[in-house]
Amino acid sequence: MKITMLEPLGVKEEKIMEMAKRFTDAGHEFVFCGEPIKTEEEKAERAKDADVLIIANSPLTSNVINAAENLKMISVGFTGVDHVDLEACEKKGIRVCNAQGYATDSTGEMTVALMLACLRNVVPYDKVVREGGTMHGFQHNTLKGKTIGIVGTGAIGRKVGELTKAFGCRLLGYDVVENQAALDLGIEYKTLEEVFAESDIVTMHAPLLDSTRNLANEKTIGLMKKTGILINCARGPLVDSQALADALNEGRIAKAGIDVYEMEPPIPAEHPLLNAKNVILTPHVAFYSEESLEHRVGIVCDNITAWMDGNPINVKL
Ligand code: NAD
């Protein structure tokens, strides 16, 4: 079979080829990709004789899928598969598998990094020192003793629970499904409103669905404590950015740490969060650690092996 990478996976060629040795040793062809492919036409040309495609998070349209006449399987090096035209895949009976869990540790740690950066004034302190200032006029807070409200108690939500529990935090949770592993961790399930009202830090970890769009909105953000902190390392549209910016600018909540937006960065200059007070912004990088990228190449290859063996794993379609 011909296994073709359609975009880079952020790991060096020699490392990827080492992981792909299992395929080449078995007589399959493996086509590495080190540079982003710019046009749809180039993608379609590259995909046209592939049996298996490996992609990351750039859109895979029906044009490319239909051009790949032999295509049977897509191994997506990403958690979400909303960038793949699943309807086109379904019509052609193409199996789609994702890299579920590759970034759980990385995203969980980044979430806690943003919590600590907010609580401990890391970004303003850096500026103060560079401008010749002193500690005076600042005070910061510990994570210990804080109540963390986890919206979406799946893999990443629970990782954040595990990490913040180690700091001595109390854990509240909201989810559409109560999860035994979350209960075992000590997460107390509450309503969405209770989580926003009772937590010192609310952190978003639900997927992007119609039901999760704007879960953090004017009303729920309005329930937060004045000292409250909102963190979003899930998907941008879970938070109403304008409502968050207004709450920050009016001092109705204290701080926010945001990794994701309605669009992939660069975000437009007029975006409300660019002009909001007390918010730390990162360019959708929570998943992007060296360790998680290597882990995802392993999962992407395992998905192909399992599918070839007739026992597909991480199946999304
Ligand atoms: P997961 O599937 O393990 O957990 C998601 C949880 O959200 C589940 O428990 C689910 O029941 C819950 N949920 C679904 N609908 C809900 C609703 N309406 N209200 C509350 N909870 C709801 O997924 P995960 O691995 O924990 O990842 C969570 C999300 O994080 C992903 O969907 C992805 O969008 C995002 N993510 C972001 C980055 C990043 O770099 N910023 C990296 C990885 C994942």
The model's pLDDT over 260-297, given as tens digits with 9 standing for 90+, comes to 999 999 999 999 999 999 999 999 999 999 999 999 99
Q: Check if 235 has its Cβ closer than 6 Å to any atom of ligand 1.
A: yes
Q: Does pLDDT of 200 surpass 90?
A: yes
- What pTM, to 2 d.p., does this model score? 0.89
Residue type, 171: L
2-23 residues labelled b (16+ CB within 10 A) or e (exposed): bbbbbbbbbbeeeebeebbeeb
Q: Check if 211 has its Cβ closer than 6 Å to any atom of ligand 1.
A: yes
The pLDDT > 90 percentage for the chain reads 97
Q: What is the pLDDT of residues 147-171, one digit of tens each?
A: 999 999 999 999 999 999 999 999 9
Active-site amino acid positions: 235, 264, 284
Q: Does pLDDT of 137 surpass 90?
A: no
Q: Check if 236 has its Cβ closer than 6 Å to any atom of ligand 1.
A: no
Q: What is the pLDDT of residues 212-260, one digit of tens each?
A: 999 999 999 999 999 999 999 999 999 999 999 999 999 999 999 999 9
**What secondary structure, in 3-state letters, does 101-163 show?**
CCCHHHHHHHHHHHHHHHHCCHHHHHHHHHCCCCCCCCCCCCCCCCEEEEECCCHHHHHHHHH
Q: Does pLDDT of 138 surpass 90?
A: no
Residue 203's H or E segment, with its range, is strand 201-204
| 312 alpha carbon – ligand 1 mean position (Å) | 22
Atom of ligand 1 at shortest range from CA of 157: 26
CA distance 5 to 303: 14
| 10 alpha carbon – ligand 1 mean position (Å) | 23
- Asked if 315 and 32 count as a contact pair (C-beta separation under 8 A), the reply is no
CA distance 1 to 157: 38
Q: Check if 259 has its Cβ closer than 6 Å to any atom of ligand 1.
A: yes
Q: Does pLDDT of 80 surpass 90?
A: no
- Asked if 165 and 187 count as a contact pair (C-beta separation under 8 A), the reply is no
